[in-house]
Structure 1
Amino acid sequence: MTEALVIHGREDLRLDRVPVTAPGTGEVTMRVAWGGICGSDMHYLRHGGVGASVLREPMILGHEISGFVERTGPGVSGLAPGDPVAIHLARPCGDCRECRLGLRHLCNDTRFLGSAAMLPHTDGGFRRLMTVAASQIYPLPPGLDVRGACLAEPLSVALHAISRAGDVRDRTILVQGAGPIGALIVAGLRIAGAGTIITTDLQDFPLSIARRMGATSVINTVSAPYRADHDVVFEASGAASALPTAIACTAKGGILVQVGMFPPGDVGIPLGQIIARELDYRGSFRFDTEFGAALDLLAANPWIADGLVTHRFGLAAFDQAFATSTDRRHSSKVLFDLAG
């Protein structure tokens, strides 16, 4: 048995004891060291679901995970007990149309750590020990510690969004929303050689994080409503009311990448502006092959983790950790220290 953070329903989060499955063929048991709280984890706690993924049974939360190999099952090579590793959250089916086209992140049958999309739900990584497929395990590159490695998942989301925009070198770019994903998009743009990177938000603290990540300038749109033409706009707030502003800020012939996830239901959108100004509106959903690149970038740029992580808590302090993560006035990325 091992200790785990289990969501039983809306506003019902408990520290439970759960069984540990011995690693079978092609599997690895790891000792989890660090886990980052994601917006989806907060949605499960506050609302009992994320979009169409509604809790129907208890589930272990957490998918931004790193730690150490504890034990390997038959048929696993290249990994040994004690190796520092990170976990790719997804296990796609490998057989569907999307998988065959190389779009594994769009596979309808993917199992995601800490997701209620399917029954039985897929338990996540906010626990001391867990067993996963060896294909999901990534050894850490030299220079990257396990604390920084748990940011590979959200950084991969940011890198995938940037790839959806194409070549960003020397472009004028707006990132709308300075939460952890928005801030990591800023970091990725900085590394990719973007020209001007402007970041907007409704709170000053996340804007200070965006500046640490490399934003050229930041604007609190509560006190200074913003309109300007940009080659590329990343809408990373996930607020439906922010979409018309993102469209208005995209230059004619420009690219608007939708990264933030909107609430369920229809979203009003000024399609006439997209048509008349020939805007290219592109969705960006999760990631796939960017995970290894994210680990390498974190190893080469330790300022990313140093600038983004604001708080650390032991697993027993989960109430305080989630309350802190929800407070955007004082926090950005909040981590669980699961080894302590």
Structure 2
Amino acid sequence: MTEVQSKSCIIRSEQDLIIENRILNHEEDKVLVQVEAGGICGSDIHYYQHGRAGASVIQEPMIIGHEFVGIVKTAPVGSALKVGQKVAINPSQPCYQCERCRNGQLNHCQSMRFMGSAQHFPHTQGGFTQYVSVNTNQCFPYDASIASEIMAFSEPLSVAIHAVNKAGSLIGKKVLVIGSGTIGGLVIAAAKAAGAQVVLGCDVSERSCKVAIDMGADHSFSPLDHEEVTKYQQDNGYFDVTFEATGVPSAIQTTVDFTKPNGKCIQLGMGNSSIEYPISQFLVKEIEWTGSFRFNTEFAVAVNWLETKRVDPTPLISGVFSLDDAESAIIAAADKSKSTKVILKI
């Protein structure tokens, strides 16, 4: 067993999963999926490096991974899903019973189980394994001609589309995206697809600024470039909507300066520390500051946008590794000077 398997990843056989379906899940609405590919997320890296992601601490062997796609191997009788069909997997498992679920706020489910997460005990196993058992309603079929590496972006693209939806109509708007990693890059593409007139990227990394352009940004700049920063902060702000995708306190503080009066700031970056925020300027400019957490019903839209090539995530792919080389893949993904999104082919 490799170090990464011993820390946070185990591999179960197809037979094991079939038995688990029969004994634990009674097969009413369960699907056995052979995993093809998955993207390594920041939370996966934290679990590997620290044994935790935020307040979620690993207490037992856990399969990480929540951005993955695969092939249906078994499906319930009468299901619309067919054996051999390629599907993207929505890792969210809301209860559909609590008040928030009944109000359509599935991402705020009080009993949410999210695949590849140690939030609950027993942990919710993830997708970096050969076979996985999921609910039928987690499976979204897609055109088999589309590469699995592309469709593995369904989950992070859902996050980006949810953020764009939180901003309201972007048609004709000027948009800034702070942070040009995976989520920031996908927000850039999603904002363009949603009709934004101008989209700019902002990142301290020269490599990430190039990624922003490759993802469709009209221009990108460094927050360390005083001339560029001044240009977009003068006259009380240039942008109608600013998306913050880093969680870095100094970056969050600048959103008010970049945003026009009555504009919107959408916060996606999840930092762990408290921040000093320019509350007086925020108040005077009547800016709307909105959090954006995971996604709600946007997963189907993300699958469609990838399938129809409305969004092309190819520029975000920094490397493709086999499952046997998972530890090297996670180490590579953790090196943000070289990597944006690393894909595991399983």
Structure 1's unaligned 5+ residue stretches are: none
User: SS in structure 1 opposite 2:270?
Assistant: coil
Q: How many residues are paired up?
A: 331
Partners of 2:93 and 2:114 within 8 A in 1: yes
Matching residue within 132, 136, 143 for 1:134: 136
Instruction: Give the aligned partner of residue 22 of structure 1.
Output: 21
Q: 2: distance between equivalents of 1:271 and 1:299?
A: 42
Partners of 2:9 and 2:64 within 8 A in 1: no
Q: Does residue 336 of structure 2 align to residue 328 of structure 1?
A: yes
User: SS in structure 2 opposite 1:25?
Assistant: coil
Partners of 1:168 and 1:192 within 8 A in 2: yes
Structure 1 residue 174: Cα displacement? 0.6
Q: 1: distance between equivalents of 2:271 and 2:319?
A: 27
Matching residue within 279, 300, 315 for 2:287: 279
Letter in 1 for 2:164: I
Instruction: Give the aligned partner of residue 210 of structure 1.
Output: 212
Partners of 2:193 and 2:311 within 8 A in 1: no
Instruction: Give the aligned partner of residue 89 of structure 1.
Output: 91
Matching residue within 157, 166, 169 for 2:168: 166
Letter in 1 for 2:112: T
Partners of 2:190 and 2:311 within 8 A in 1: no
Q: 1: distance between equivalents of 2:246 and 2:169?
A: 22
Q: 1: distance between equivalents of 2:74 and 2:11?
A: 23
Letter in 2 for 1:205: R
Structure 1 segment 29-44 matched on structure 2, within 5 A: 29-44=32-47
Letter in 2 for 1:124: G
Structure 1 residue 192: Cα displacement? 1.3
> For the structure 1 residues 76 and 201, does the alpha-carbon distance in structure 2 shift closer, same or farther, using more than 3 Å as the test?
farther
Instruction: Give the aligned partner of residue 49 of structure 1.
Output: 52
Q: Matched residues, percent identical?
A: 35
Structure 2 length-normalised TM: 0.90
User: SS in structure 1 opposite 2:229?
Assistant: coil
Q: 2: distance between equivalents of 1:167 and 1:189?
A: 10
User: SS in structure 2 opposite 1:22?
Assistant: helix
Structure 1 segment 184-263 matched on structure 2, within 5 A: 184-224=186-226, 226-227=229-230, 228=232, 229=237, 230-263=239-272
Q: Does residue 78 of structure 2 align to residue 101 of structure 1?
A: no
> For the structure 1 residues 175 and 95, does the alpha-carbon distance in structure 2 shift closer, same or farther, using more than 3 Å as the test?
same
User: Which stretch shifts more, 133-142 or 235-244?
Assistant: 133-142
User: SS in structure 1 opposite 2:21?
Assistant: coil
User: SS in structure 2 opposite 1:237?
Assistant: coil
Letter in 1 for 2:268: V
What do residues 230-264 of structure 1 show as CA deviations (whole Å, max 9, x unaligned)? 1100000111221111122111111000011111x
Structure 1 residue 198: Cα displacement? 1.1
Higher helix residue share: 2
Structure 1 length-normalised TM: 0.92
Higher strand residue share: 1
Partners of 1:143 and 1:300 within 8 A in 2: no
Structure 1 segment 106-121 matched on structure 2, within 5 A: 106-121=108-123
